[in-house]
Structure 1
Amino acid sequence: MGGKRLSGREKFLIFAGCLILFLLIGRAAQVQIIHHEFLSEEAMTQQCDTLPIQALRGSLEDRNGTVLVQSLENPSLWADPKEVSDPVGLDRALANLGWTKPGLVSQKIENACQRRFVWLYRDWASWGNVAYVESLWAGAYHRVEPKRLYPSGPLLASILGFVGRDGAGLSGLELELDPLLKGHQGWEQRFVTGGNRPTASLPPRIIEVPQPGQNVQLTIDLRIQEITQRRLQEGVIFWKARAAFALVMDPMTGEMLAIASVPNPDSTLWRRRNGHPWRQRPICDQWEPGSTFKIVTFAAAIENGRIDLDEPIDCENGKWITADWKIGDHERYGILSTRDVLVHSSNIGTAKIALRIGTDEFYRMVRHLGFGSQTGIPFPGEAKGRVLEPDRWNRRSLPTMGFGQELSVNCLQMAMCYAAVANGGNLLKPQLIREVRDARGKIVQKCAPRVVRPVLKKTTCKILTELLRQVVVDGTGTLAEIPWFPPAGKTGTSEMYDPELGTYSSTDYMASFIGFAPWYEPRYLCCVVLDSPQGSIYGGQTAAPIFKAIMEDLTAVHGGMATAEVQVFKDEEKPQPLPDVRGLSPDEARRVIKEAGFIPVLEGRGLRIKEMNPAPGSLGIDGGVVRLFPGGSISEEEQVMPNLLGWPLRRAIVLLSRRGVEWTADGEGWISGQSPLPGEVLKTSAVCRLTATHQASHAWMKWRMVGEGVADAAPWGNVKTRP
């Protein structure tokens, strides 16, 4: 029995149904298989929002592990203008919290046009205040961002620099070390609604985990930085200087321990920067060094055998014309030994020595010591100085360059030059980074001292160190002397070039002092520069006392009270017996001691030498210190009261006991008062009363900075001294 045959209509319907089914299957295959990847991406684009996750920026620490800069996660407030129903109320709330100025938020929302995102506040905010704003005002939301915290405040601002809103370094070490500190940002994917709002039921998905930045430990010591900054600030205030800068370093390793400038900015106020305070002047400023550069001239002369230290040089009574150019001295010197030319800072004598050296040898030494080139310190904007090629010199260039004119340097270059003298002849690369660690604390880089090149013979350094020590003992740098931590150094006073006048200014000067202590085994090197001090232009009177104050504070903080009998360079030399100079005049005694190869240090005043330490006949190494104690200017029952102001109490007691003076003390720390006063005649039966405090006060700093043995301790501005 045959089945019922389909009608034409039924056949058409079946065919149409099969065709539609086939098309649906084909379309499904096209969507699910052929175009799956493309359509999935389109769907994710519409349903998801991909946002960057800022990496936590690495921290900066000082050499002792004290955190100087770190990043912390903190909420930032933003708004969707289309959802904000009460912009005036939101504006008032943020203004009341002190986050914004009145009217600023409402203006941002009104000017948003079609944008769905406006930042309201991105500085430090408490989570509680952010939650309060979010709960009361529709359209306000928060986003967690890393923010930079500077615990040291303005103390290291110009060194550390600052970062922008996006966390990128914009200045200082934040800029220089940005590749190490910034890390690598991550990405997260959030599911959103049709209104681009986050979907609460679907948490965000981390696509790429952010990698924190590396942590950097600096060579800076925060305690030394505080000391240097404070003493520099005191000096600027006292001398009414336009500005000042200083650095402290370890001359044996090249590590920077402190880099200070006055005025100093604040890293938290980077948006208010006005340029100059953010410039790290010891590194980025260049200036004519003046007499501190004479050490280069003497180094070249000694290395090339052009001078004998005892040879007399005619200093022309303070005025000399060469190459139609008048050179003057600060005092009318006649005949000086070559040694005393540096000790008493004669421009004329130094110019004559420079002429002996010759253009080629002098220029070679200047460049060999690193002048005219960047030192390579990891800091942006280092000045390289200005040293012209010899073919651009005129007839007066060589003699004037000899005492630090017609060329420019930065403070760091001068410090590295003196460090080469202190460490025995090696020019070091300045170190600012001690080590780099990853986020887990593993050391990935450790910076060791690096010698750029040997620049001076050890014997040359020894002679130069002796000369620099004599500058402090009885030359232009006596106000830098510290009996228990004896320094060696050089003063400098340089005229500032006035570009408007096309010549040197008659009113603006740079006063400086560079030295290291203790001179026989240097631990610290310090360079102090004052810009346009008032009342005195001389580095020996203005910068040297600041150097002294910094070094004294360093010995108090880090210890290192030293005895002058320790020797300088650890040579295998045969000890020599000390000559007996008792009964000789101070001048004759010093001459005999110098001829024997030792350095005399005169303690007090008198007509004849009564005692010496070490004792006559003691064995000492060439270059050691011999202390001479004069007497005879007053009766045997009397002596002059020394200036103990600024001394540690225990050192003052040792000195008085050694001189047989009875004493009483009130307090502990540093001497702030004494009776009798310095310079008064003190009978043996008298009792010295000492007052000590834990911290030096500004009132007695002027006493300390006048120096040991000054009877009439006048204010700084009235003290007559040499540059």
Structure 2
Amino acid sequence: MRSQATGSAAARVTAIRLLLLLVLAVLAARAGQLSTVNPDAVDQGNRQIHTRIKIPGARGLILDRAHRALAISVEAPSVYAFPQLIENPQKVAKNLGDILSLDPTALKKRITSRSGFTYLGRWVEPEQAEAIRALDLPGIGIEYEPRRTYPTGPMAGPIVGFADIDGKGVRGVEQMMDRWLSGEPRTVAVERDARGRVLSSDSVDPRQTAGGDITLTIDAGLQAQAEALLTEAVEASEALGGVVICIEPSTGDILSLAEAPGFDPNHFRHIAYSKTRSRAFVDAMEPGSTFKAFLVAAALEADVIRPETEIDTGDGWVRVPGKTIRDHHPYGVLDPAGVLRFSSNVGAVWIAQRLGAEAQHASLLRFGFSQSTGSGFPQESNGILRDWRAWKPVDQATVAFGQGLNVTPIQLAMAMAALGNDGIRMKPRLVAAQRAPRGEWETLPIRKAGRAIRPETSRTLLKMMQSVVSSEGTGRQAALAGVQVAGKTGTAQVLDQETGAYSQDRYIAWFAGLAPAENPQIAIVVALDQPMGKHHTGGAVAAPLFAKVAAAQLAHQGIMTKPEPIPSIKVPIWVAVQERINARKHAEKEATLDRSPRAAKKPMQIARSRRTRRLRPANRHVAAPQPARNTGLPPVAAPPPTQRRVGPALGNETASRIELASVLVPDFRGQSLKDARRIAHQEALEVHIHGSGSGRVVGQAPAAGTIVMGEDRVIILSFSVHQEEG
């Protein structure tokens, strides 16, 4: 019995030992499994905790010829999501929809239909970003990315163009110079916890990856004046729109180019793409009788006519196979200047028939018609001019007075400029200089397109064209006091696309001219699209507009001392950039009012009112920037390469009203709050803080280099939140 009991006990001990060994083996195996690195699991974990966001590089500056900002890049907040980490999509969509004013249903669909990183709102307002950040929603984050901003609003909108939400230029100069302006995309590493909350982000200075800067030939002040005058003329004539181009004949520089209607590139997402084109480069239309100037030029060049040639226009009509061509009145015998002065269609046909179709066509090609001007502007039209071999007699006759072909306003402007440049046609220059990141300004070359006519032919023709602006000429309303003008009117019938016939009540009113006629400094082309008022001819509605624009341009060059009065234009306050030296002189003049030793030592006093105001940058305006005097390109006082952006567009802020002389806004970026306040105090500026005020300044409004004055001496600074204040 004892033997059996002992054996049973031994069996139990053995079983227990085996069980313990089995448990230990299982635990060891599990420990080994846990200690073994699973690359897939680690990679999945890294993807869950870390991610990288690709941010477009900041685009370079677009400046006018006086270095006033036309396009800048700012850092704007955008909202993104990691849908796989969102716990309650419906609740998140509701919260975000309320803040962003978006449809919650659409937001929920976007969140639930994607598994990876996705943007929910690009370029949101700072207040919206702060509200979203305060919710601390799992899977939702805020990241700053460059946003293109156009401080001058609609001014020069079709020429400057715009960059899309991904930072790619898609219209105007933005598209033409896209490769130069584009910055290098940067990758931002974002760390987040398992709930998707952002813990930290790389601190990358966008200036390190910014694109190159460019300076345009356009002067913002002259541009604003031209746009004001064009708008006034369009409204007065009840036209659908219009174009005014001013060219410097000797260089091909575009000094101003106004278009109506224009558009504000800040709001490109709400504008039809077709309405953002530059009609001056893209739209081709019949030039009407402005073409008679180039016909006479060709005939003089070919020695077919001379200034004293007698041209019998008979009773004011001529028959060509397929058409009877008429004048408004019978003019009898005219010389070539008379054909231009009275705009005789019959006289033009007489000249064309003696010139011949081949020579007539070849001359138009030398003036640059039916081909690109060489501007490089996107989508520029070549116009339409059929080969002379396809012409019938009626085609040759109608082309003589600008019917049956299409030209762009810029083609006509460059051809007219050639008449004022001893017959040499230049390529239009819109970009005057460029600067690589952290580089120096490089002036771009002036380019010739070729010779259209001999210098003596050009001078003879200009004398003839002066008669157009005489008291009996069709362009008499283009005359300027004390300055001779050479020009040509045009009234082109609009072709009805439905009937294929020319309309009897729709016209394009033209005037193309040069001044001063004896030594042209400007060539201006005016086109008004279908004026429906009491008058519709080029001489009645386009010529007066030429006179006003020419007066302003010549006064800018010191040629006219009493230009036509120019209506004031309203643009955002920080666009009113003035020359720094003028601001300094004004401040020094104010300081000399009190020359006592005590006054010399005490700091400048700032007068403040007790009232406060709401600062609305988009709605506060001042007079347009004044044209900058001829200082050469590029300007000496060019902003340093680091001045590339300002802070995000800010909402309504409260600031004290300040009255004082004008001051040049410093560059606060990279400064601590303490240093920023010290600099602001030295410049008699008031600082308003956006956000916590901790870290370093990453954005400011107005931009560095802007002139502010009076109550606008308030600087709004935004700070980084991931850096320690120094």
Q: Is the 8 A contact 2:551 2:563 kept in 1?
A: no
- Matched with 1:409 is 407
Partner AA of 1:130 in structure 2: A
Q: Deviations over 1:555-604 (max 9, x none)?
A: 44443228xxxxxxxxxxxxxxxxxxxxxxxxxxxxxxxxxxxxxxxxxx
CA distance in 2, matches of 1:352, 1:524: 31
CA deviation after TM superposition for structure 1 residue 272, in Å:
2.1
Q: Deviations over 1:671-722 (max 9, x none)?
A: xxxxxxxxxxxxxxxxxxxxxxxx9xxxxxxxxxxxxxxxxxxxxxxxxxxx
- Unaligned runs of at least 5 residues, structure 1: 1-19, 563-643, 649-694, 696-723
SS of the aligned residue for 2:330 comes to: coil
CA distance in 2, matches of 1:309, 1:228: 35
Q: Does 1:75 align with 2:77?
A: yes
Greater Cα offset, 129-138 or 469-478: 129-138
CA distance in 1, matches of 2:158, 2:94: 35
CA deviation after TM superposition for structure 1 residue 297, in Å:
0.8
SS of the aligned residue for 1:154 comes to: coil
Within the candidate set 364, 368, 372, 2:366 is matched to 368
Matches within 5 A, 1:289-308: 289-308=287-306
Matches within 5 A, 1:695-714: none
Q: Deviations over 1:131-181 (max 9, x none)?
A: 233113523421111111111101121112222221112222222221111
- Matched with 1:62 is 64
Partner AA of 1:548 in structure 2: A
Matches within 5 A, 1:470-549: 470-474=467-471, 475-534=473-532, 535-549=534-548
Partner AA of 2:552 in structure 1: D
CA distance in 2, matches of 1:532, 1:236: 10
Q: Is the 8 A contact 1:80 1:118 kept in 2?
A: yes
CA distance in 2, matches of 1:647, 1:158: 26
CA distance in 2, matches of 1:272, 1:117: 26
- Matched with 2:144 is 144
Within the candidate set 308, 311, 316, 1:310 is matched to 308
Q: Deviations over 1:241-289 (max 9, x none)?
A: 1221111111110011112211111112212222443121111111111
CA deviation after TM superposition for structure 1 residue 233, in Å:
0.8
CA distance in 2, matches of 1:560, 1:312: 36
Within the candidate set 450, 454, 475, 1:453 is matched to 450
CA distance in 1, matches of 2:356, 2:223: 41
CA deviation after TM superposition for structure 1 residue 51, in Å:
2.2
Q: Is the 8 A contact 1:513 1:528 kept in 2?
A: yes
CA distance in 1, matches of 2:218, 2:316: 43
- Matched with 1:132 is 131
- Matched with 1:391 is 389
- Matched with 1:108 is 107
Q: Does 1:261 align with 2:259?
A: yes
The size of the alignment, in residue pairs, is 536
CA distance in 1, matches of 2:109, 2:494: 54
CA distance in 1, matches of 2:537, 2:144: 55
Q: Is the 8 A contact 2:551 2:560 kept in 1?
A: no
Matches within 5 A, 1:708-723: none
Q: Is the 8 A contact 1:315 1:348 kept in 2?
A: yes
- Matched with 1:167 is 167
Q: Deviations over 1:104-139 (max 9, x none)?
A: 14540355226365534323522x552233113523
- Matched with 2:714 is none
CA distance in 2, matches of 1:187, 1:350: 65
Q: Is the 8 A contact 1:189 1:205 kept in 2?
A: no
Distance 1:358 1:238, change over 3 A: same
Q: Is the 8 A contact 1:84 1:138 kept in 2?
A: no
- Matched with 1:466 is 463
CA deviation after TM superposition for structure 1 residue 194, in Å:
4.7
CA deviation after TM superposition for structure 1 residue 647, in Å:
8.2
Alignment identity in percent?
29
CA deviation after TM superposition for structure 1 residue 524, in Å:
1.6
Q: Is the 8 A contact 1:514 1:528 kept in 2?
A: yes
- Matched with 1:186 is 186
SS of the aligned residue for 1:396 comes to: helix
Distance 1:204 1:308, change over 3 A: closer
Partner AA of 2:454 in structure 1: K
CA deviation after TM superposition for structure 1 residue 338, in Å:
2.5
Within the candidate set 278, 281, 285, 1:280 is matched to 278
- Matched with 2:551 is 552
CA deviation after TM superposition for structure 1 residue 78, in Å:
3.1
CA deviation after TM superposition for structure 1 residue 48, in Å:
3.1
Q: Deviations over 1:597-643 (max 9, x none)?
A: xxxxxxxxxxxxxxxxxxxxxxxxxxxxxxxxxxxxxxxxxxxxxxx
CA deviation after TM superposition for structure 1 residue 57, in Å:
1.1
SS of the aligned residue for 2:57 comes to: coil
CA distance in 2, matches of 1:187, 1:227: 43
SS of the aligned residue for 2:134 comes to: helix
Distance 1:646 1:55, change over 3 A: closer
Partner AA of 1:552 in structure 2: A
SS of the aligned residue for 2:209 comes to: coil
CA distance in 2, matches of 1:118, 1:296: 58
CA distance in 1, matches of 2:381, 2:92: 52
Q: TM-score, normalised by structure 1?
A: 0.68
- Unaligned runs of at least 5 residues, structure 2: 1-24, 567-622, 624-726
CA distance in 2, matches of 1:209, 1:218: 22
Distance 1:215 1:105, change over 3 A: farther
Q: Is the 8 A contact 1:109 1:118 kept in 2?
A: no
Partner AA of 1:68 in structure 2: L
Distance 1:333 1:209, change over 3 A: closer
CA distance in 2, matches of 1:224, 1:79: 46
Greater Cα offset, 169-178 or 142-151: 169-178
SS of the aligned residue for 1:180 comes to: helix
Greater Cα offset, 289-298 or 116-125: 116-125
CA distance in 1, matches of 2:94, 2:517: 64
CA deviation after TM superposition for structure 1 residue 44, in Å:
5.3
CA deviation after TM superposition for structure 1 residue 190, in Å:
3.7
Q: Deviations over 1:447-499 (max 9, x none)?
A: 12111112211100100110111211242111000013332111111111123
Partner AA of 2:447 in structure 1: R
CA deviation after TM superposition for structure 1 residue 236, in Å:
0.9
Partner AA of 1:157 in structure 2: G
Q: Deviations over 1:29-85 (max 9, x none)?
A: xx99xx99x999787556532222321111111111000000011211234555465
CA deviation after TM superposition for structure 1 residue 91, in Å:
4.3
CA distance in 2, matches of 1:260, 1:337: 36
Task: Flag the structure with more relative contact order, 1 or 2, with Cα contacts below 8 A and sequence separation at least 6.
Answer: 2
Q: Deviations over 1:199-240 (max 9, x none)?
A: 55xx64979996211111111111111111111111111111
- Matched with 2:246 is 248
Q: Is the 8 A contact 1:188 1:208 kept in 2?
A: no
Partner AA of 2:544 in structure 1: P
CA deviation after TM superposition for structure 1 residue 421, in Å:
0.7
Q: Is the 8 A contact 1:219 1:434 kept in 2?
A: yes
Distance 1:208 1:417, change over 3 A: closer
CA distance in 1, matches of 2:169, 2:206: 23
CA distance in 1, matches of 2:93, 2:424: 65
CA distance in 2, matches of 1:191, 1:89: 21
- Matched with 1:632 is none
Greater Cα offset, 269-278 or 212-221: 269-278
SS of the aligned residue for 1:184 comes to: strand
Over aligned residues, Cα RMSD in angstroms?
Answer: 3.3
Distance 1:374 1:523, change over 3 A: same
Q: Is the 8 A contact 1:88 1:106 kept in 2?
A: no
CA distance in 2, matches of 1:73, 1:440: 20
Within the candidate set 339, 344, 355, 2:337 is matched to 339
Partner AA of 1:374 in structure 2: S
